[in-house]
Structure 1
Amino acid sequence: MSTATDHRPSPAAPGTVAFIGGGNMARSLIGGLIANGAAPATVRVAEPNEATRQGLAADFGVSVFADAGTAVDGADAWVFAVKPQVMREVCATLGDKARAERPLAISIAAGITSAQLDRWLGGDMAVVRTMPNTPALLGAGVTGLYANPLVDAAGRARAEALLASAGTTVWIDDEAKMDAVTAVSGSGPAYVFLLAEAMEEAAKAEGLPADAARTLVLQTVLGAARMLTESGESPAELRRRVTSPGGTTHAAVETFEAGGLRALAAQAIRNATVRGGELSAAND
C-alpha cells in the first residue's frame, strides 16, 4: 500500500473527504471507508502528531498532512474529528477556506451544535452534526445524525454513507435531542462495561476463579447483545422469557427492580444529557 507524503501540489479532486484530526474515531471511519471500497486517493487527513499521521498513511494509503488548511484544499466534505475544546480554534484557522469552498461540514465532536460550527466557519454552511460511539472502532457502532437546513439530499446521503462505514445510522430531526443521543449511545458503551465490571466482581465474590468469571460475563453480554439485535424481540419480551416465576433469574431481577435500577438508569441518562448541553455552552 502506498505511503502518502505531507505535501501535495494540487487540490483534491471532487468527491474527496478531508478529516481534520486522525484519532481513534477518525481512524475507524477511514478504515470503514477503505474497506467499503473508497479509493485511498479520495481521503485526506490532517493530524499534527507525526506518528499517528504516518500510521494512517501506512495502514490505509491515504494522503496525510500536518496542516489542516492543506488537507482540506479542494475537498468537498470536511469531517471535524477534534476535541470539542479546540473546535472553535480549528474552525478559525479554516474560516477563509470554508467561505471560499463551501464544503459539507461534518462534526463528530460531542456537545458542539451545528449553529456553533456554522458560525465559527463563517456562516451559511451546510453542517451535519453526528454522534458516533466507540464500537465504531469494530464496525459495530451506531451514529445519530442531524442536518441543518442548508444540507441538501446529496449532502445527507454523503454524510450517511460516511458514518455508515462504522455501523448503523439514525437521523434525528430535532437537534435539541442530540444531547440525548450522546447520553444514550455515545456514552452507552460505558454503562454496559460498568455492568460487566460489577457482574465480574460479584462472580469472584461468589468464589468463581477470575478467568472463569471473566469468560462467563463476557460471553453472557455478547450472547445477550446478539439476541437483542438478531431476534427481533423487545428487551422486555426477552427478559420475560428467561425469568421463570420463583426461579433464580426472578430473584435477581426483583433485586434490581427493588434497588431502583430503572430510575437510576433514567437519572444517569438525564445527567449525561444535561452535561452535553453544558459542554456546548462552555465551548461557545
Structure 2
Amino acid sequence: MDVELRHLRAFVAVAQGLSFTRAAERLFVTQPALTRTIKQLESILGATLLDRDTRRVSLTPEGVRFLEGARAALGAVDRAVSNVLQDAPLRLGFSWLLPDPWAQRAVAEYERVVGSAVSLVRTDDPLGDLERREIDVAVLRDRADLPAGVRTVRLFEERRVVVCSTASPVAERRSVDWSELEAWPFVYNSVSGTVGPWSWHDGGPSRFVETHNYDEWLESIAADRGISVVPDLATRRTIHPSIRFVPLAGAPPSTVSIGFVLDHPERLKRRFAEAAVAVVDPAPDRN
C-alpha cells in the first residue's frame, strides 16, 4: 500500500493538536477509524510517528521530520486543486455580526492554505441557505434544530449582554441577572436569533415580541418594544443612538459553530473547517 492523502491528513490533524479526539472531530471520522489510519501510515513507513499513552500524545523525532514534509505535500495538492477551482470561491454565510478576530483569521488562513477566496454572504436564514446550497458554510449560534445532513463544528463561546432602548428603565441599571428578564417584554428574532421562547423551559418573560430579521429586531428594541439578549460582540460592533447595552449575569453562554453539508465542494468545506478550528484562541478572554 502506498501513502495516500487520507494518511497525510489524518497524521497532520493529530500532530497539529496532539489529540486524537480533536483530530477525529475535525476530520469527521470516529476515533477508532482515525487510529487505524495512523497505524496504517506507520506500517507503510516502518516508523513510529506518534508516542501515545492514556494521558497525552507527542511526536517522535521521525514524526517531527515527517510532519514538515506532510504539510508541504498537502499544501501542494490543495494549491493544485485550487488552480482549477479558483473561480468558485467558498461562500461563508452569516446572519449578523461575524465574531472577531476569529472570522478574519479563519478567512485569511483558508485563503493562505487553499489559495482560493472566501465570499461573505449576509443572510437571515443561514440554515435554509445551507439546505438550498446557496452558501457552502454557515456561522451558527446556539442552534439545536439542525436539518438532517448538516454537520457542525463547535468553535468557542461568547458572553451575553442585555440590549435595550435608551428610553427603557433597564438602561439605567448597572447589571441585570438572567432570572430578572421575565420582568420585561422580550424581543426576539424567530429566524436566526440566539435567545427566544425556546430558551426557557419554565418561567421566562411574560410577553414575547417576534421579529423576523436583524433589522426588525434592532429597531423594535430601539422603539422600546422590549429588551433582548445578544453576545457581547455587539457592544463594540453595533452603533445605534437609541440603544444601550447592560451587563448580564447568570446567563448561559452563546456557542459559536460552523455548519455545512458534506457534498460538493466537500474538499473546500473540509479545508475551511480545518482553518476555522486552527485559529481559535485556545484560551480566549471572553469573560
Q: TM > 0.5 between the two?
A: no
**Higher normalized contact order (CA 8 Å, seq sep 6+, divided by chain length):** 2
After TM superposition, the score normalised by the length of structure 2 is 0.29
Structure in which a larger fraction of residues adopt helix: 1
After TM superposition, the score normalised by the length of structure 1 is 0.29
Structure in which a larger fraction of residues adopt strand: 2
